[in-house]
Structure 1
């Protein structure tokens, strides 16, 4: 098991890329390493690195590489996101994609070609760093593709797949051209991919592109409102989402990475947050093929910075002035305990069947809705998890008769989910919440 932290700079948040300070990064990484973390995920701002469609700034690439090298000096591996993209309710798109120059980021040929060129150059600059964990194409870029984004870049599922294929290929080419290079290439989506039937980026995109299946688990999506701070549906949400995502994996041994998970105090009471951290991690660590858990985030956003949603100001394991918080102390305890445990856990032998198709084999247009917090399938999965003590695997009905696949996944018993037509809880996306 890998245990890491999404790195939010303690000074000036991600705006610190504008006045990069190696000493400030070193101070933050020293604190992160003290938690027993083994990696950091870092977020260069796309407009800072590629301010013009035909210009990738060499000095910005050098800053990114220096951050990776600083991580190495503290025994930390580094995963680098390419396209930011979207962070903590703020969008960071280059000016050549906005206003007078607005073009579709997913489908315009010139934009796609220039974006891929940047991803390739970034990966090439990072290639060969011994502590490079990998490159993630971008942070939750599927939020640009559909509502509730105020001005989405419309794209269809097939076009989304084509865009992802282009970006993954560019990253692999930059890293050395291998189909499965030692540093991973990954695709990160927010959970509308699994919960919103209208979201054009779906589960298959997570499961069929890149080297791992990535999940981002946030209980402000309805789970926390429905189940409370420490209810099973809250502390098991990361585990559930990992199992749900794994259902679409075509390779039974494909790694599952809980790449973002945090304790938003808008729905997790501050006094419950340390227990939420521990229970969430322990449940996630029981998922088969779990690669690791990367907590969001390292440091609080300073309240000197304006206009963030309230929950963003206290998600850190450290305060913005570097003081270890109770959630950070608990994360450290669990990471040190489980970090030495073998990552290959025996898979749950039970699997609950998800109706991605009906009895005639026709696609179920509401399958993702039933999986959202409060939906019928989500409730059925949770009931089995609470009865058995460990969350069951999930099997798509369209694959439920594939005996070889079931055997490869270690599944010996299939469970039918009842009442999957129940409506999920409806909550606003935090990017548009007050």
Structure 2
């Protein structure tokens, strides 16, 4: 596949047992799931070991669990699927998974305690090293939205500063690199990093650390509530986050991975899921330098499993019985169109100024959130037919920076779309 063609994949949610499948690992069931994913024309999956099961004690990383992860990766390779592995789970679909050696009687800050961080580093290095010789191994993601443990609204957060978050990310990215040199190792946060003023994980961390920037786009964050399921801001939310990330990026062509995006019911009704999927992906791929799109998720969650938020049961491209849903068929059509030679997007020449305060900590980044001046201005411009990107206020007069990005016009949120 040429570098101009984006990658298309799914976050792998096992159809049998959800992520608890690691407790009763069934390679035949995994192979059947992967067959159904490959049947959509996808080229990669993102995989989620459960941290407490793989590292139940700080100095015990279970060899059998690591072996099963490798077996899954090899099964994916047999079906033409590359694999990215998220190490620290961490948090998945409203449930927290933290090992006992970080909790209650052993309560320690998972971002700053030196013993905990050393254990995490060795765990990530071990997983990366186990897959380092597999040609289909893309690289590691540190963990799934683990930033949610660092502050509110989590009920029991491990509070840290932005400087501590940066040191933690750097330490663990280095551990991934030590295990599998030269692979694409990255980190991924939920959108508090971009939208919440006091959040310790910052846009600068997201856009400047790791091999690429990961974006997780969910419209239940106030976007769909404010703009409706078919509103411009809703259908362009992923594209907005991709372009927002570029304001902080250290280079004009830093790749951005739309690593999670989904159609959450009832904010996106079931009968509108396919149209939302097509619009969201098409709009995201109208952004230059998109490495790939990875849908959340591959398979629906079985109704036999209790206590999930209602929306989590129906996010799959495939049913729990491995049948393609309308959203899955929409993704398959998009994949086929791009592989038939669709042209990559032109540069975005109009830039919206982002003034979130200090560039490193972004203390006023809520201007970027739904309802904020930058967010709403981006939606207005897009509704008028423009293709905006963003630029930090500190760079908005830097001719070299603007020229490198192909930006020919700069506008403030107050003047945008007026």
Into which bin does the TM-score normalised by the smaller protein fall? over 0.9
- 1:365 maps to which residue? 363
1:330 shift after superposition: 1.1
- 1:205 maps to which residue? 205
Contact residue 142 and residue 188 of structure 2 kept, 8 A: yes
- Alignment TM-score, normalising by the size of structure 1: 0.92
> 106, 127, 131: which one pairs with 1:126?
131
1:338 shift after superposition: 2.1
Contact residue 97 and residue 104 of structure 1 kept, 8 A: yes
- 2:25 maps to which residue? 20
1:160 shift after superposition: 0.3
Q: Answer yes or no: is 1:117 the counterpart of 2:122.
A: yes
1:346 shift after superposition: 2.5
> 174, 178, 182: which one pairs with 1:173?
178
1:198 shift after superposition: 1.2
Q: Structure 2 vs 1, CA of residues 232 and 82 (structure 1 numbering), >3 Å: closer, same or farther? A: same
Q: Answer yes or no: is 1:388 the counterpart of 2:393.
A: no
1:341 shift after superposition: 4.3
1:88-108 superposed Cα distances (whole Å, 9 cap, x missing partner): 000000010111111000000
1:158-205 superposed Cα distances (whole Å, 9 cap, x missing partner): 0000000000000001003xxxx1x20011000000010111001011
- Alignment TM-score, normalising by the size of structure 2: 0.96
1:363 shift after superposition: 8.1
1:400 shift after superposition: 1.3
- 1:58 maps to which residue? 63
- 1:303 maps to which residue? 303
- 2:374 maps to which residue? 377
Q: Structure 2 vs 1, CA of residues 132 and 364 (structure 1 numbering), >3 Å: closer, same or farther? A: closer
Contact residue 278 and residue 330 of structure 1 kept, 8 A: yes
**Any idea what SS the aligned residue of 1:247 has?**
helix
Contact residue 198 and residue 363 of structure 2 kept, 8 A: no
Q: Structure 2 vs 1, CA of residues 343 and 211 (structure 1 numbering), >3 Å: closer, same or farther? A: farther
Q: Structure 2 vs 1, CA of residues 272 and 389 (structure 1 numbering), >3 Å: closer, same or farther? A: farther
Contact residue 3 and residue 339 of structure 1 kept, 8 A: no
Q: Structure 2 vs 1, CA of residues 233 and 315 (structure 1 numbering), >3 Å: closer, same or farther? A: same
Contact residue 145 and residue 154 of structure 1 kept, 8 A: yes
Q: Structure 2 vs 1, CA of residues 419 and 40 (structure 1 numbering), >3 Å: closer, same or farther? A: same
> 77, 86, 90: which one pairs with 2:82?
77
- 1:251 maps to which residue? 251
- 1:139 maps to which residue? 144
- 1:241 maps to which residue? 241
* Equivalent residues, number: 411
C-alpha separation between the residues in 1 aligned to 2:217 and 2:71?
A: 30
- 1:403 maps to which residue? 399
Contact residue 350 and residue 412 of structure 1 kept, 8 A: yes
C-alpha separation between the residues in 1 aligned to 2:265 and 2:360?
A: 41
C-alpha separation between the residues in 2 aligned to 1:41 and 1:372?
A: 27
1:331 shift after superposition: 1.3
C-alpha separation between the residues in 2 aligned to 1:336 and 1:197?
A: 41
Unaligned runs of 5+ in 1: 421-434
**Any idea what SS the aligned residue of 1:137 has?**
strand
**Any idea what SS the aligned residue of 1:186 has?**
coil
> 88, 106, 120: which one pairs with 1:101?
106
Off by >6 Å, runs of 4+ in structure 1? 361-364
1:278 shift after superposition: 0.1
Q: Structure 2 vs 1, CA of residues 362 and 299 (structure 1 numbering), >3 Å: closer, same or farther? A: closer
Q: CA RMSD in A?
A: 1.6
**Any idea what SS the aligned residue of 2:35 has?**
helix
- 1:427 maps to which residue? none
1:347-371 superposed Cα distances (whole Å, 9 cap, x missing partner): 211111111349xx998732x1111
1:119-146 superposed Cα distances (whole Å, 9 cap, x missing partner): 1111100101101111101000100000
Contact residue 287 and residue 345 of structure 2 kept, 8 A: yes
Q: Answer yes or no: is 1:219 the counterpart of 2:216.
A: no
Q: How does 1:237-386 map to 2 (within 5 A)?
A: 237-341=237-341, 344-357=344-357, 365-366=363-364, 368-386=365-383
**Any idea what SS the aligned residue of 2:363 has?**
coil
Q: Answer yes or no: is 1:188 the counterpart of 2:182.
A: no
C-alpha separation between the residues in 2 aligned to 1:288 and 1:162?
A: 30
1:388 shift after superposition: 2.5
C-alpha separation between the residues in 2 aligned to 1:243 and 1:364?
A: 17
C-alpha separation between the residues in 2 aligned to 1:261 and 1:356?
A: 25
- 1:39 maps to which residue? 44
- 2:3 maps to which residue? none
C-alpha separation between the residues in 1 aligned to 2:52 and 2:342?
A: 40
C-alpha separation between the residues in 2 aligned to 1:313 and 1:33?
A: 21
1:343 shift after superposition: 7.8
C-alpha separation between the residues in 2 aligned to 1:341 and 1:28?
A: 28
C-alpha separation between the residues in 2 aligned to 1:372 and 1:223?
A: 9
**Any idea what SS the aligned residue of 2:185 has?**
strand
C-alpha separation between the residues in 2 aligned to 1:67 and 1:194?
A: 33
